A and B are shown apart, each in its own frame.
Chain A
């Protein structure tokens, strides 16, 4: 056999769209208050848009001031009865909710992707299973609370006002509701303006689970509704996940009120690649760190710190890998990067990227075909970034990674910590002792070694410094919802 020129075969993916056929969305959703869907008293009805098509998915009611008051009143009325249930019985409701999320997983994943634009592979494999796992985890805590607080006596705080962001709508609702309810609190949850639908499906699940009326209220609304919710006088606890700017406003708004507060805020997390790392594995981790969920992740590895000796190699491999990311239809199971959540967020990303170019960083954006309708941003890398550039300091919350370099371990630590944020960090090295040493020196609430963006209901999550305070997950996630004596 002679060696011949072989015909190169170009493999490509055929579209593999997830069918939304069996999703049964109502045309219009009311506010979930007192165990039933109600027409708003003074709120309005708005359409929730699919960011990949700019078509409405369903109409939802937004809560007005009177609606919020009614939701808090219903939660207040339900709280003593809920707290008086035995821990076992409270837990059994949460177990039911966990099971119902699992049963309706496919539907929830599709709606999450339609409403928010994230790839259905992520909704299916991350958001929905983790949401179920959170309810399952905290269900089991409900009758073991004293074990979670060092054996001390523990009592619920009362009514919790909870505000969640648009990047992981169902998952963040689960992170908030599960521990609050396990501890005997009742909750008024406000989903984000652009992604209310899976929270409303969760309200249906609460009905299906026969959760006592009033224990959970779901009141969609915009930022003004969130601001009004935390100012409700009869709230004992506020838990907020979102931007640092809004977190500061909430903390100031609660001044002098003695309301317990938990904040899970923004980040500009450092992903540090040392020269002794397994570089191909690191590149996969970098991609997962910044392009997961279009970079709409508070702990995204948006500041990539590469040791100078391997910087060119890593950037070369990364750029090559970025070119193979599939950007497009969120409902296609092959899609890696979906739609940007909203026009507003797209404009924010574009503004910061323009600033990065203006300040002299070198931009490269993957040349891929983007759908004509919808909001999209192709994966982008900035090199020649200086630590003072806006793209190295501010949270972009999009598929944009800023690369900085370092020479020594001490310099890497110093650069990683030189941020008002302190949410997460990544370390890529094959040296175990170095990984532990660097992990302990980083001011970050979560440190991933040779991996990134892993979450688990048993593992505490939350920030240092201006990334917030309080933790979600594990026994630490109970304590913000308990009065310990």
Chain B
């Protein structure tokens, strides 16, 4: 007797829940229907990310590191289901491991005590910038996303990511990996759909603190820049990451771009 396979209904990942697009629209990806996210989905996702951000940032660095490492563990055991090449999968897992280890290194590397010429304890510490948007490249569909996602999460930000338009399935499957990795609901929000529709809505959202645009599309990049300027949103335009080495070579720049340095002054003595 042949058994009928149980097909998966692909959904967006917003606020820790698997949801359909509020628009009710869909696109076709291989044999699957996938939700075609809308501008309203972007706004809902930013709201969920904002709600979750303070809690994630207030976790200890040790705890954030363990959560990201658990995501690496989960990806290692379930990765074969994601349908990407072995090298891409291995690189993706290793990128998570690398940035899991950054959570408690960021502060000593980017911050420190300032030797000011006055009787004060002055120190500068990196803090997460807040809610960060990611526009993932089309390829590689998993590594291209994770190389941007991992440093943003390690630094304590929450994320709204617009997935590869040509190959969103692996990233939508990644939502299930993250969902079982103790990543708090709302910290990562993943939207499939048309980049030209979603990316401007994300970049122009005034409650977004930073946006990482790895789309490689220079026209879209310029539009993102213009929209980001409306609320002084921080912007980076990295090229698509295609290897583990590429994901970690400029780790400091990736991390610093999504942090804010706070300098505090406390008097010493009377």
Interface positions of A (Cβ within 8 A of B): 133, 149-150, 152, 244, 247-249, 251-252, 254-256, 258, 263, 265, 420, 432, 435-436, 439-440, 444-451, 454, 456, 458-462, 464-469, 471, 473-476, 479, 484-485
A445 and B262 alpha carbons, distance in the complex (Å): 4
A251-B225, A449-B264 known; A454+B252 contact, CB < 8 A: no
Q: Could you tell me if A460 and B124 are in contact, using CB atoms closer than 8 angstroms?
A: yes
Residue of B nearest to A253 (CB): B229
Q: Which of A254, A445, A479 is within 8 Å of B260, CB to CB?
A: A445
Instruction: Indicate whether B256 reaches chain A with its CB closer than 8 angstroms.
Output: yes
**Contacting pair A474 B265 (CB below 8 A):** no
A149 pairs with B252, CB closer than 8 A: yes
Q: How far is A473 from B122 in the complex, measured between Cα atoms in Å?
A: 12
Q: Which of B244-270 contact A (CB under 8 A)?
A: 249-250, 252-253, 256, 260-267
- Shortest beta-carbon distance from A240 to chain B in Å: 11
Instruction: Indicate whether A466 sits within 8 Å of B232 (C-beta atoms), given known contacts A150-B109, A435-B266, A476-B110.
Output: yes
- The total of chain B residues at the interface (CB under 8 A) is 40
Interface string of B73-99 (1 = CB under 8 A from A): 000000000000000000000000000
CB-CB nearest in chain B for A467: B232
A130 to B101, CA, bound (A): 38
Given contacts A255-B225, A456-B114, A474-B114, contact A468 B232 (CB under 8 A): yes
Considering the chains assembled together, what is the distance between the CA atoms of A420 and B230 in angstroms? 12
Of B117, B228, B229, B265, most A-chain CB atoms within 10 Å: B265
If A256-B218, A445-B260, A456-B118 touch, whether A248 touches B266 (CB-CB below 8 Å) is no
Q: Does B116 contact A (CB under 8 A)?
A: yes
- Name the contact of A251 in the complex, choosing from B109, B221, B229, B253 (C-beta under 8 A): B229
Can you list 10 A-B pairs with a CB-CB distance of less than 8 A?
A: A252-B229, A255-B222, A432-B266, A448-B264, A458-B115, A460-B124, A466-B231, A467-B232, A476-B124, A484-B252
Q: How far is the CA of A254 from the CA of B222 in the complex (A)?
A: 9
**Nearest CB to that of B251 among chain A residues?**
A150
Name 6 extra pairs, CB < 8 A, besides A449-B264, A459-B263. Answer: A254-B225, A446-B263, A447-B264, A447-B265, A459-B122, A459-B124
Contact of A479 among B120, B218, B221, B256 (CB under 8 A): B256
A181 and B162 CA atoms in complex are apart in Å by 39
Please give the distance in Å from B101's CB to the nearest CB on chain A.
Answer: 14
Q: Which residue of A lies closest to B126 (CB)?
A: A476
Q: What is the bound-complex CA distance between A214 and B256, given in angstroms? A: 31
- The residues of A that contact B265 with a CB separation of less than 8 Å are 446-449, 451, 454, 459
Contact of B232 among A248, A446, A450, A458 (CB under 8 A): A248
Is B103 interfacial (CB 8 A cutoff)? no
Complex: A458 Cα to B112 Cα, angstroms = 10
Does chain A have a CB within 8 A of B38? no
By the criterion CB–CB under 8 Å, are B232 and A456 in contact? no
Q: Is B209 an interface residue (CB 8 A)?
A: yes
Residues on A with C-beta less than 8 A from B260 are 445, 464, 469
Question: A252–B225 contact, CB under 8 A?
Answer: yes
Q: Is B205 an interface residue (CB 8 A)?
A: no
Query: Are B252 and A458 in contact, CB atoms less than 8 angstroms apart?
Result: no
**B226-250 contact mask (Cβ, 8 Å, vs A): 1 or 0:** 1011111010010000000000011
CB distance from B133 to the nearest CB of A (A): 15
What CA separation (Å) do A247 and B228 show in the bound complex? 12
Alpha-carbon distance A131/B160, docked complex (angstroms): 42
From residue B239, how far is it (CB to closest CB) to chain A in Å? 12
Nearest-Cβ distance from residue A155 to partner chain B, whole angstroms: 13
Q: Which residue of A has the minimal Cβ distance to B234?
A: A469
- Contact, CB under 8 Å: A256 / B261: no
Quick one: which of B120, B229, B249, B267 contacts A255, CB cutoff 8 A?
B229
CB distance from A454 to the nearest CB of B (A): 6
CB-nearest residue of chain A relative to B262? A445
A451–B129 alpha-carbon span in the complex (Å): 25
Contacts of B266 in A (CB 8 A): 432, 435-436, 449-450
Of chain B, the residue at the smallest CB distance from A244 is B232
B250/A484 in contact, CB under 8 A: yes
Are A462 and B261 also in contact (CB < 8 A) when A251-B232, A450-B266, A456-B117 are? Answer: yes
Residues of chain B contacted by A449 (CB below 8 angstroms)? 264-267
Q: Across the A-B interface, give the 10 residue pairs with the lowest CB-CB distance, nearest first.
A: A256-B222, A255-B225, A251-B229, A456-B116, A252-B229, A459-B114, A255-B226, A466-B232, A458-B114, A460-B124
Q: Is the CB of B261 within 8 A of A454?
A: no
Q: Within the assembled complex, what's the spacing in Å between the Cα atoms of A133 and B225?
A: 35
The CA of A448 and the CA of B252, in the complex, are separated in Å by: 27
Identify which of A248, A251, A254, A445 gathers the most chain B CB atoms within 10 Å of its CB.
Answer: A251
Distance (whole angstroms) from the CB of B155 to the closest CB of chain A: 14
Complex contacts, A258 vs chain B, CB 8 Å:
237
The answer to whether A460 and B229 have CB atoms under 8 Å apart is: no
Complex contacts, A244 vs chain B, CB 8 Å:
232
**Inside 8 A of B267's CB, which chain A residues have their CB?**
449-451
